[in-house]
Amino acid sequence: MNQKVYVGIDLAKDSSRVAVVDKDGSKLSSPFSIKNTRDGMEKLLSKLNSYKNDEILCGMEASSNYWENIYSYLKEKKVSCLLINPYQVKKYRQALGLKIKTDSVDAEAVAQLIRAKKYDNLYISDEVAVELKELVRIKFSFARRVKDLKKAVMSLLCLVFPEYTRIIPHPFSKVSTEILSKYRNFMQYGKGKCLKTC
């Protein structure tokens, strides 16, 4: 392996913090954030574009399911990835004397951990990687479909019940669903309120 740069990624729900060090452990840039989207992942690789993909080693904690999208994306781009046990990262951070836990500190701890080869890699087989890639594709497809359906519902709702979003701030909530199952338009809603109050 010919790694020249080590990338530690501290994962969170919507965005991740990234630290980058060289083979001597020196920081190559200040820690930066990326969104957990395709654009965010492309931003990560653009920050590393002075290196060949086979010269990059990325590490991240196997916590929750936040790692799946970025792991699959980087594998697709032929970038080596390691999944690290969060307990190892915690212990290594403490060994470095980094007592204060922040996203940047955790990202740096992961980068230094994989550079020093002080980890036990959580192995992901090629078969599992392929399945993850397909699941990620399906997930993005469903997300786009849900977004499109919500737009269609809102368009229809504005047509038949234009005052609705002023009355109900969260039109896709459970309460909203119950109201819409009883009243098809504003006139019916008004009559229903009148019957209850009269």
**Does residue 96 surpass a pLDDT of 80?**
no
Q: Are both 30 and 76 inside the same structural domain?
A: yes
Question: What domain range is 107 assigned to?
Answer: 5-124
**Does residue 10 surpass a pLDDT of 90?**
yes
Q: Is residue 58 part of a domain?
A: yes
Q: Are both 112 and 164 inside the same structural domain?
A: no
pLDDT 10s digits, 24-45: 989 999 999 999 998 999 999 9
User: Which pairs from 66-71 meet CB under 8 Å and 24+ separation?
Assistant: 66/11, 66/12, 66/13, 66/16, 66/36, 67/11, 68/132, 68/135, 68/136, 69/36, 69/41, 69/136, 69/139, 70/9, 70/11, 70/16, 70/36, 70/41, 71/124, 71/129, 71/132
Residue holding tokens 């740096």?
108
Q: Are both 15 and 77 inside the same structural domain?
A: yes
CATH of the domain at 107: 3.30.420.40
Q: Is residue 39 part of a domain?
A: yes
**Does residue 184 surpass a pLDDT of 70?**
no
Point out the domain boundary residue: 74, 89, 124. 124
Q: Are both 88 and 182 inside the same structural domain?
A: no
Q: Is residue 135 part of a domain?
A: no
Q: Is residue 152 part of a domain?
A: yes
Q: Is residue 139 part of a domain?
A: no
Q: Are both 71 and 120 inside the same structural domain?
A: yes
pLDDT in the model for residue 13: 86
Residue holding tokens 């977004």?
147
- Count how many residues are written for the chain: 198
Point out the domain boundary residue: 92, 124, 156. 124
Residue 57: strand, helix, or coil: strand
Would the pTM of this model clear 0.75, i.e. be above it? Answer: no
Q: Are both 177 and 106 inside the same structural domain?
A: no
Confidence label for 129 from pLDDT (cuts 50, 70 and 90) = low
Average pLDDT over residues 2-22: 91
Q: Is residue 129 part of a domain?
A: no
Confidence label for 190 from pLDDT (cuts 50, 70 and 90) = low
Q: Are both 87 and 158 inside the same structural domain?
A: no
- Number of structural domains, the chain? 2
